[in-house]
């Protein structure tokens, strides 16, 4: 299905924001008369910024996909063809849901955009692993340790450490509260308008939510950064840090997604680049992935709210298997 437009915003220099509506798809591969008018009249020197749906796809309603059997027990699922700018599948893609640790893709994005990944970060008491509940996923950070921001990103994206998320938030934002404000501003800039963050890690809060489509918008921005892709495609990440006593230490992180671990079989029609898992009691089991077909065309697949881990990977595998293989 080609793009169906939603409200899009163009920033007027030093003045205000103009909201526009148009039908059809905004993109390189053709435009309706209305979108042609937009591109002609709202791409002048008076305006800055890109039209909302340019290079993106939007589906207002569910989109069926041949070869994929819909699982209505899921809260939401979607599949996006980034090259063709198509929504190949959408099931409740605009329904607000709890994202769990898929939240951390926004945390990573802000770190990459706003700091030097070689910066040194001193772990605070708030980011100490002992400050989290016993059942929370943590990397074991301790107050007084010194890590590079890059290695904290490895701990965040591969091992999904909640302590790493707090350490990154405090360093990049100055405080966790200020960083959360940055997260919400960035979500708004990406037109992820059904998203609201309350923390940098995704531990449950009733007011912390997103949608499958908004996750696509955020993840699509993340994978534009080589540093992000390098980390999510790692099968093992080795981090080097200094402990609170000044001693050099080393630790390793394995990815949490079962495809990377070799515990879930990768469909033969694609290569899985990597992604992010998320799990809480309230969110269920969630997974967002980037794949490439044999022609190196990228896709983003999302499953949210699976009842358990086997169901999550069964549904994700079925969704990925419906991707056209391209040419070998």
Residues labelled catalytic: 101, 104, 160
Instruction: Tell me which residue of 286, 117, 116 sits closest to 216, measured CA to CA.
Output: 286
What gap in Å lies between CA 118 and CA 324, rounded to an integer?
39
Q: Which of 296, 271, 275, 289 is nearest to 231 (CA)?
A: 275
> DSSP labels for 171-210?
HHHSSHHHHHHHHHHHHHHTT-TT-B-SSSS----TT-BB
Length of the chain: 328
Give the helix/strand (H/E) hosting 262: none
In sequence order, the β-bridge partners of residue 251 are 239
Interhelix angle 176-189/162-173, nearest 10 degrees: 90
What percent of the chain is helix, strand and coil (3-state, nearest 5)?
A: 30, 25, 50
The strand pairing partners of 86, in sequence order, are 81
């Amino acid at each position: 299905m080609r793009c169906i437009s939603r409200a899009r915003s163009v920033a007027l220099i030093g003045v205000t924001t103009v909201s526009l509506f148009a039908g059809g798809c905004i993109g390189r591969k053709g435009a309706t008369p209305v979108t042609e008018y937009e591109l002609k009249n709202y791409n002048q020197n008076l305006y800055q910024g890109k039209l909302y749906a340019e290079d993106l796809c939007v589906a207002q309603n569910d989109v069926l996909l041949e070869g994929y059997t819909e699982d209505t027990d899921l809260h939401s699922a979607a599949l996006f063809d980034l090259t063709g700018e198509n929504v190949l599948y959408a099931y409740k893609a605009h329904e607000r849901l709890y994202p769990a640790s898929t939240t951390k893709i926004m945390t990573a994005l802000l770190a990459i955009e706003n700091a030097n990944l070689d910066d040194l970060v001193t772990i605070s008491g708030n980011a100490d692993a002992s400050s989290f509940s016993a059942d929370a996923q943590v990397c074991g950070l301790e107050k007084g340790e010194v890590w590079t921001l890059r290695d904290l990103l490895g701990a965040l994206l591969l091992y999904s450490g909640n302590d790493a998320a707090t350490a990154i938030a405090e360093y990049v934002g100055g405080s966790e509260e200020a960083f959360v404000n940055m997260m919400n501003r960035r979500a708004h800039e990406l037109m992820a308008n059904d998203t609201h963050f309350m923390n940098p890690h995704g531990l449950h809060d009733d007011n912390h939510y997103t949608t499958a489509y908004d996750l696509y918008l955020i993840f699509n921005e993340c994978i534009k950064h080589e540093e992000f892709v390098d980390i999510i495609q790692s099968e093992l990440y080795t981090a080097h840090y200094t402990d609170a006593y000044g001693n050099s230490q080393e630790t390793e992180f394995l990815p949490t997604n079962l495809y990377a671990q070799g515990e879930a079989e990768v469909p033969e029609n694609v290569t899985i680049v990597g992604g992010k898992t998320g799990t809480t009691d309230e969110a269920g089991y969630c997974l967002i992935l980037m794949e490439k077909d044999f022609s190196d065309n990228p896709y983003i697949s999302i499953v949210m709210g699976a009842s358990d881990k086997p169901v999550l990977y069964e549904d994700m595998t079925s969704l990925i298997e419906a991707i056209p293989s391209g040419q070998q």
